Chain A
């Protein structure tokens, strides 16, 4: 790229970014508008609340996310004070920035038209699944691709830093990224004639990774939570790869979902059903691998194919999360949208340029399939889409939110519930008292500004008996005065925490008196 092109590219990107931030993106929910998600947003709220109270992540608080995901928010919370609004605005800015950066750089490298760049970007932002985790992985892959392609060694350093950062954002994503980049390095080691150049670049990448980890180690060990972090990572791997995972259900069985009647309508419904989209996703990756294989076998591959391959491999790994947690479907879609933009670019070109009818016909069919899939995905997440339209109204409306909510308009029922609880806690406890929320509503710790007597803000995460007894022992040891059970809380996978935590529930029944406070059941320790 020439200097002028780079300036133009950056200017365009900044404009797009500012525009997206102005209208607010549909990534999570609007920063100004919409009920608080007590679980997904809530866990960040809970963690920040505890960290502000002097607790350390991993050591005192169980967190499945990497430190790089949480500490920037913690820093800003120390600066501006913690609130739901801050959580939202920080992640929206970060995610939108990453989405614009990745979509634009990747698709420009793949020589995709500007219109299709916008298509990919729109899909990334409309479907509520693109976050820092997915973004850091893609960024590391793109940088590694450039590190291998470009002569300047600064790319290698950037690649190493990005790979290490992806680990620190999420260990799961770090592994996917490392394997994907590893495949790229192996390919280069095998095929590149200048092996010394590749080895030099690899050395720099590894060195950068090591430096980042060393810095991280010095910091984490200095604060005394490095060991706990490692333990949590290992625990996560075991938990999420085995049967003892907190949330998740079986992968939908297409054979069982198949309609019994031969009616065309039921078959069409089946084919475009939400659960069958999972199969479609894997189908697209399969097709990509076959497509790339043919090009490689017939010696038709271009350098950009390598990037498509890497994105597809990463996407495939990401999609494996769906085995057991198919509800996470939107979180796995980002790579496929980049691949779609590339396919559409190629197919539209063929459709326009080709004079053969058969070629036009086949390209048209493939374009339609991609568009239908994209449209179906958008239709599933249309509520998020429509929320963005209500944004101007929310932006100008008067906010009268409870403490720690910030500049966000939430429903009156949620406001009432939060206020009731805040009043109760303020009246009956001191700031140093710990309160335990029996449901998966970690945001409550931020909203009532109290500590958790256990390590588990999401009690469902205490999945095994070891963890359940650890939680129980902490409750006993801390002589927790109040345990709060929200009767309106959502039960993950329809399994309530009363079922999940029988030892704790039994203890609550035995040692606590219970009384009703609106939608909450307040458990008060019998012996005070």
Chain B
């Protein structure tokens, strides 16, 4: 592999072309079908139900960012969720991350492929560079790049911002090695170090950034401990990186202390570890099934994504262990990574005393279980260095070593035994789901075993015939253990599954804009609303402003197992300015909770099975029965009947039924009864049964260990007219709350401008007044009355201003000081780094133009420039004609030529700047090519 740069270049070109050609969307948006509101007639199991965050949050955020940027607005604030919250300051929005630029430029389906494939590509490239810096051969470095890239962590977190940051880790290690090795051009590596840290900040995952910084700091100290000057300069370069990223970092820090993030984190400290038993997945990843296969149960107290992060494939793990134990030579890098990996393992799996490290501040509120990715990286490094030693150096394998290797291979034999031993079990239950799982497990284990054996065989061949056999042969079994296993982990979906517009969504979009609250089931989870340009009263858990969240929790304390509000009253809805409610039951009814435990599944898997509950009604006119259903990723066509009877006489009173196709997993379902007159105080029985259920075609109810289902009864309340029903279908209701306003003012008040970062309100009143605006109080917001600063009052959680009598214009605008100070720090540090770099670069290089270039007569340059300018103007004009852009008229209260002629002025700026940059670039490019040809 001589021309590696061509390989990487070709690979990138391939990725770009593939992104344009590949069909569908690289986003598991079919997950939406698990929500009752996105229910399909023909339900198909989502390809990977664990990737919800990318669908519910990351993609809607990207869409929101793109939409705002294309309107010429920088999205500092998001007013679509929780009545407003800082948006740019939320690092996860990663607006400035370079790979996200693809999203702003290219069509969505192209950019989704491009962003995620590029992540893997850069991880591969940076891994390769790091191994090269460790003096591995090109082939071995490529293999190392493969180990690093195709381990589990980058795959399972590919759609998360964690990998935005994680892919930069090997690059930082590479730069560190280069700093160690370089003599004359160290300044370049310092500058690059700063830039990479800045990119890591823009990557949008502070936790991973913290993890990287912690491990990288140890690495720097370890590698540069003998050269204190370089060590100091490297630390300064890292500080420079943080200063470069100040524009993102400062607003984030401000946000952190005003948001719910720290509160929430401090409440769940014990969740930041993995149970030790889940370490078995590092060897047998599909032992509990996998979310992208037909089988998966998260029964080890953690989910697949968290637990699998350290998986690198058995051969790599095996090599890593051998190398770590010093079987085939030791060096300092191996020692460092062995120590680091062991410590990380102890931290991740909470092994005493190492886990005490996580009691240190910052560690105590960060997700330490995600150190698994770094652990896997360490194993991969040790494995590659071991392979390098095995294939390059003359290693004599002694009898003792052979024995030890055999001991280590013993577990593999056990795997085989296990695989064979499970066979009779699968024969015993030929038609059940369990036997299918056992068959799946057998294939999995056998595949693992065979690929390990193949790997060992290839390794043996390689060690014996170093020069004849290509080391790339080793990648075949590795491929089977990693890429093949995770092949469809990040699935693609069709265009119709990419944020489909359901009937509910269309109804909401046709209504005047107002905040939506979900009651009961998740129907339009927070942030998903951004994909449909709708407003939601909640925000991604950690993003909410603390005061708002506290108020929300105080007004709506009744939460269900989804973390959703379960009951509401109109006063509180109005207080928060909630205009619409989506619920799974009729809000106008009075509720009676009969049994609320839901820790056991009560299956209805045969026609004989009956679930009976006794109850005493408190009102007479029963309208709905609310239960929780379990329909676990299955297609079921059964029918469930629900009937009432008097307990004593067994007289049947009413009956209703649910088609199983209508119910979702763990969701509430409200069954409607049209005529069910009960006598309060008398005893009744409620009976659930399914006449056509079988083991393969059944659902379950959630209930308690006494076989009583979760049960609520809802009765008619003729007095309640606070809600008007806008739409209803399949136990989903959309309500309008009456008399809701985002403003409170005893006079005339109307919005002139409503942009996320600016609200302009015209008011008129006969007396001095206070204007209340339902927008959270947050640093950076300021108010003006007729252009003059006025005090913004904090009414916790919202804002208000005092307005004198008469006619006025009140403006609320978001101008965060943290952002502007951040920009200044970023600009100053960029300037210093730029000057530092160029000064050194000029000192370093003494470039002189060739004689030919000096001899070119000046008018030839004129001719080339004339051609260049002419050509660039012609092509620019052509492009402008070919891709006309429609600019939106900005919101303004100004009356001038532009507003009277509806001329969006930003288009002049856009065409001016783009044309100047384009003409200069193209002309200089043409001139550059011409001069290059001349000098040849």
Contact = CB atoms under 8 A, between A and B. Distances in A.
B862 interface: yes
Interface in B877-936: 877, 880, 889-890, 892-901, 903-906, 908-909, 912, 916, 919-920, 923-924, 927, 931
A466 B786 contact: yes
A294 B861 contact: yes
A269 interface: no
B839 interface: yes
A354 to B, nearest CB: 10
Interface in A230-286: 235, 242-251, 255, 282-283, 286
A499 B897 contact: no
B407 interface: no
B842 A190 contact: yes
Contact of B908 (A282, A286, A324, A363): A324
B853 A243 contact: no
Contact of A290 (B760, B865, B895, B899): B865
B852 to A, nearest CB: 11
A189 interface: yes
Contact of A466 (B784, B900, B901, B920): B784
Interface stretch (A70-78, A467-475, A516-524): A467-475
A493 B900 CA distance: 11
A243 B893 contact: no
Nearest to A297: B849
B924 A290 contact: yes
Contact of B896 (A246, A255, A286, A358): A246
Main secondary structure of the interface of B (DSSP, over half): helix
B70 interface: no
Contacts of B900: 495, 499
Given A186-B831, A470-B786, A465 B908 contact: no
B770 interface: no
Given A191-B842, A500-B895, A293 B909 contact: no
A186 B836 CA distance: 11
B835 interface: yes
B809 interface: yes
B729 interface: no
Interface in A197-213: none
Given A243-B890, A244-B892, A290-B920, A323 B909 contact: yes
Interface in A279-321: 282-283, 286-287, 289-290, 293-294, 297-300, 320
B2 interface: no
A251 B905 CA distance: 9
Contacts of B834: 186
A91 to B, nearest CB: 28
Greatest chain B CB density within 10 A among A242, A361, A362, A465 is at: A465
Interface in B825-884: 831, 834-835, 838-839, 842, 848-849, 853-854, 857-859, 861-862, 865, 869, 877, 880
Contacts of B877: 255
A359 interface: yes
Contacts of B890: 242-243
Interface string A380-420: 00000000000000000000000000000000000000000
A242 B892 contact: yes
A502 interface: yes
B664 interface: no
Given A289-B920, A290-B923, A465 B752 contact: yes
Contacts of B912: 251, 320, 323
A415 B786 CA distance: 38
B659 interface: no
A238 to B, nearest CB: 10
B301 interface: no
A245 B893 CA distance: 11
B894 A251 contact: no
A463 B900 CA distance: 13
Contacts of B893: 244, 464-466
B787 A243 contact: no
A190 B895 contact: no
A294 B856 CA distance: 11
B924 A243 contact: no
A247 to B, nearest CB: 7
A246 B895 CA distance: 8
B712 to A, nearest CB: 52
Interface string B780-797: 000010110000000000
Contacts of B613: none
Nearest to A359: B859
Given A186-B831, A323-B908, A362-B859, A294 B896 contact: no
Contacts of A18: none
B762 interface: yes
Contacts of A10: none
B924 A293 contact: yes
Contact of A495 (B865, B869, B897, B920): B897
Interface string B345-367: 00000000000000000000000
A472 B786 CA distance: 11
Nearest to A316: B916
B896 A189 contact: no
A289 B906 CA distance: 25
B806 A190 contact: no
B34 interface: no
B807 A473 contact: yes
Contacts of A195: 839
Contact of B904 (A243, A286, A476): A243
Contacts of A247: 896-897
Contact of A467 (B787, B849, B905): B787
B846 to A, nearest CB: 11
B839 A463 contact: no
B811 interface: yes
B808 interface: yes
Interface string A466-506: 11011011001000000000000000011100011111000
B895 A470 contact: no
A242 to B, nearest CB: 7
B142 to A, nearest CB: 38
A246 B894 CA distance: 8
B859 A250 contact: no
Contacts of B909: 323
A493 B896 contact: yes
A243 B906 contact: yes
A250 B762 CA distance: 29
B784 A282 contact: no
A247 B897 CA distance: 7
A464 B894 contact: yes
Given A358-B857, A469-B808, A286 B786 contact: no
A236 to B, nearest CB: 13
Contacts of B762: 465, 469
Contact of B892 (A246, A299, A464): A464
A251 B760 CA distance: 29
A244 B806 contact: no
Given A190-B839, A290-B920, A473 B896 contact: no
Interface string B145-160: 0000000000000000
B349 to A, nearest CB: 52
Given A195-B839, A250-B908, A470-B786, A463 B853 contact: no
Contacts of A190: 835, 838-839, 842
Nearest to A363: B859
A235 B807 CA distance: 22
Interface string A428-470: 0000000000000000000000000000000000011111011
Nearest to A294: B861
Nearest to B859: A362
Which 6 pairs from chain A and chain B are nearest by CB? Answer: A244-B894, A465-B893, A362-B859, A466-B809, A493-B897, A190-B838
Given A243-B898, A464-B894, A470-B786, 4 more contacts: A248-B897, A248-B898, A287-B865, A469-B807
7 contacts: A189-B839, A248-B898, A290-B865, A297-B849, A320-B912, A469-B786, A500-B896
